[in-house]
Homo-oligomer: A and B are copies of this chain.
Amino acid sequence: MPIAPSGGVSYNRLLAALPEDGFKRLGPHLELIQLQLGSILYESGDHLQYVWFPTTAIASLQYIMEDGASTEVASVGNEGVLSVSLFTGSAVPPSRAIVQTGGYGYRIKVGVMLEEFHRSELLQRLLLHYIQSLIVQISLTAVCNRHHSIEQQLCRWLLSTINRQLSNELVVTQELIASMLGVRREGITEAAGNLKDAGFINYRRGHITVLDRAGLETLTCECYQVAKKEFGSLLSMYATTGHAHSQACSKK
């Protein structure tokens, strides 16, 4: 069961969980914009200008080290929101957010968002709950980095990515995956080769197609299931309200 809903993916599930009136107040300030692969939404240390709610895009939260090496600590799709440090009290994020899968998302100015955050208790509950899921996701990354093989982590990464999109084809180079997982590119090449030999995926220059999701699930580590369950429980808690399909708003 994929995290992505079966019917229509052009909305953000956190926004969709808002009640009618709460959504009405945010709606006029939401801007639908295109998020291009590789574009940086914010850098560690920036002063945040916007809060993003991805719809079809996926972003990656990364820590960049002094020597330039990077590690993804979490990723955010249409189940989440970017700039969470704003709600925990700091307009200066500790990580970088970079678009990992191109697509669309809504953005809203921090001022408007913060005001509504303080006004609406439900919005607070929703966002705090999302932060909880994020903490779990980051914790699992820590565990996974310690204990699991590159192949297992690649499976997890592939699965959690296709779960957030409709297509089972990813537009991404092995080099990029490597930099997100914080490993060598050759390590990804080898692991991907194994998965290809097993018939679970296929790929060509800059594209990966998942052929057998269940196969990948047999190879990946427990972290994948735990993370999926965490987000599942988050989202099932807030029944989707009727306006899910009417997130149309000022388009940029």
Judging by beta carbons under 8 Å apart, are B140 and A63 in contact? yes
Chain B's nearest CB lies how many Å from the CB of A219?
15
Question: Looking at chain A, what size class is its interface with the partner chain?
Answer: 20 to 34
Please give the count of copies of this chain that the complex contains.
Answer: 2
Q: Is A169 an interface residue (CB 8 A)?
A: no
Q: Is A165 an interface residue (CB 8 A)?
A: no
Judging by beta carbons under 8 Å apart, are A139 and B88 in contact? no
Among B66, B69, B146, B230, the residue within 8 A (CB) of A145 is B146
Main secondary structure on chain A at its contact with chain B? helix
Q: Is A56 an interface residue (CB 8 A)?
A: no
> Contacts A63-B143, A230-B94 known; A135 to B132 CB distance under 8 Å?
no
Among B129, B139, B142, B222, the residue within 8 A (CB) of A66 is B222
Q: Is A87 an interface residue (CB 8 A)?
A: yes
Q: Is A95 an interface residue (CB 8 A)?
A: yes
Judging by beta carbons under 8 Å apart, are B90 and A129 in contact? yes
